Amino acid sequence: MDDLKGLILSGGAGTRLRPITHTSAKQLVPVANKPVLFYGIEALVEAGVTEIGIVIAPETGDEIREAAGDGSAFGATITYITQDRPDGLAHAVLTAEDFLGSSPFVMYLGDNLLAEGITRLVSAFRDSQPDALILLTKVDDPSSYGVAELDGDRVVRLVEKPKDPPSDLALVGVYLFGPTIFEAARALEPSWRGELEITEAIDRLIESGKRVESQVVSGWWKDTGQLADMLEANRLVLEELAPRIDGEVSDDCRVESRVAVEAGAVISGSVVRGPAIIGRDARITDAFIGPYTSIGDEVEVSRSEIENSILLTGARVTDLGTRMEACLLG
Ligand code: DAU
């Protein structure tokens, strides 16, 4: 088998996290102070996939290039592929055809986070070499996702965002493909939402008798496309945080439970109740930072209370009258 390549989709319009993502890419919103996209790159590298293409949109591509660079920081080689319009996941695959060539590949949606990584999935794919291997997980609201209909263990049909879902098993945003996916993608017509749907391309593989296998995710999975999911991903990652204090915490502070304080951060007169992370050069003065909060680099918080929130680099909060909760602040 040709060696596997990686394809991360980080284009798209990203309308759902506006206004935060009006100028910046949703894949760069940090979870526990690390851009969502980086978790994907790291998961690929961990599974031994180091030749990675990242699909970018013309509007947000430069920021993504700047953040992820040539990939050397991750032990990978990154090639950027510009998709002119957000015409769908299958359109993104076709846009990347020159980069992918005849290699099998892992496609990873740049706003997805998967606790267990993808090593198990990649080795299952290498062993059985199907046309596609998809990942599924049970969800409460299947009509927001691509949904699988199963017969025993076998996937018999896939539908994108069905009004009347055939099951509660959603497609997770990590897929493995052999080169037959291109032909299936080329045969598609735009869906009701005007996109070339990868879900329909895989459904065509099934219909034409190709081998499509599936696995069910064992750990948690999050599509961070919406605020509530982003905050939940932040909570889940912070739960696993390794506590450490590299910045300065003065004696009049209380730091409880899992807390990471980055170098250059200065905390005084405050309570920090973990799980929480305080970024580089942040200033926390006479404040309460509650559980499940990520304070970005160079953030300033004084005389305010913040809980279950994400504050992006450089945000400032002073003299807030009420406790800030469940916010993403740019
Ligand atoms: O998260 C899992 C879901 O992802 C699956 O259950 C669905 O079957 C699948 O269609 C997809 O649904 P979404 O509607 O959530 O996809 P979204 O538009 O958010 O795009 C996912 C990623 O791909 C995101 O990082 C943006 C990028 N993208 C999207 C489009 C439409 C591109 O790079 N190019 C595109 O044209």
Per-residue pLDDT in tens (0 to 9) along the chain, 330 residues: 568 999 999 998 756 556 665 557 889 999 999 999 999 999 999 999 999 999 999 999 999 999 999 999 999 999 999 999 999 999 999 999 999 999 999 999 999 999 899 999 999 999 999 999 999 999 999 999 999 999 887 899 999 999 999 999 999 999 999 999 999 999 999 999 999 999 999 999 999 999 999 999 989 999 998 899 999 999 999 999 999 999 999 999 999 999 999 999 999 999 999 999 999 999 999 999 999 999 999 999 999 999 999 999 999 999 998 899 999 998
Tell me how far the alpha carbon of residue 313 is from its chain's centroid: 19
Q: Which CATH architecture has domain 242-329?
A: 3 Solenoid (2.160)
Residues with CB under 6 A from ligand 1: 9-12, 27, 55, 83, 86-89, 91-92, 109-112, 145-146, 160, 170-171, 173, 195, 199, 223, 225
**pLDDT at position 330, please?**
86
Please report the atom of ligand 1 found closest to the CA of residue 57.
33
Q: Which fold has domain 5-237?
A: Spore Coat Polysaccharide Biosynthesis Protein SpsA; Chain A (3.90.550)
Bridge-based pairing state of the strands 132-138 and 212-216: parallel
Cα gap 222→260, rounded to integer Å: 23
Ligand 1 centroid to Cα of residue 138, in Å, is 18
Please report the atom of ligand 1 found closest to the CA of residue 171.
6
Contact (CB, 8 A) for 81 and 53: yes
Which of 36, 27, 33, 31 lies closest to 55 in space, CA to CA?
27
- Strand-pair partners of 254: 271
Q: List helix spans (H) across 103-253.
A: 119-128, 180-186, 198-207, 227-239
Cα gap 225→121, rounded to integer Å: 23
How many residues are there in the chain?
A: 330
Cα gap 186→65, rounded to integer Å: 28
Q: Closest Cα to atom 14, ligand 1: which residue? A: 145
Query: Does the reported pTM lie above 0.85?
Result: yes
Q: Closest Cα to atom 18, ligand 1: which residue? A: 12
Q: Where are the domains of the chain?
A: 5-237, 242-329
Cα gap 296→32, rounded to integer Å: 8
**pLDDT at position 94, please?**
98
Q: CA distances (Å), 213 to each of 116, 151, 157, 258, in order? A: 19, 12, 12, 39
Coil, strand or helix: which one is 213? strand
Tell me how far the alpha carbon of residue 213 is from its chain's centroid: 23
Buried b / exposed e along 175-198 (16+ C-beta atoms within 10 A): bbbbebbbebbeebeeeeeebbbb
Ligand 1 centroid to Cα of residue 81, in Å, is 16
**pLDDT at position 49, please?**
97
Ligand 1 centroid to Cα of residue 173, in Å, is 8
Ligand 1 centroid to Cα of residue 284, in Å, is 37
Which of 187, 200, 220, 21 lies closest to 117 in space, CA to CA?
220
* Domain 5-237 matches domain 242-329 at the CATH topology level: no
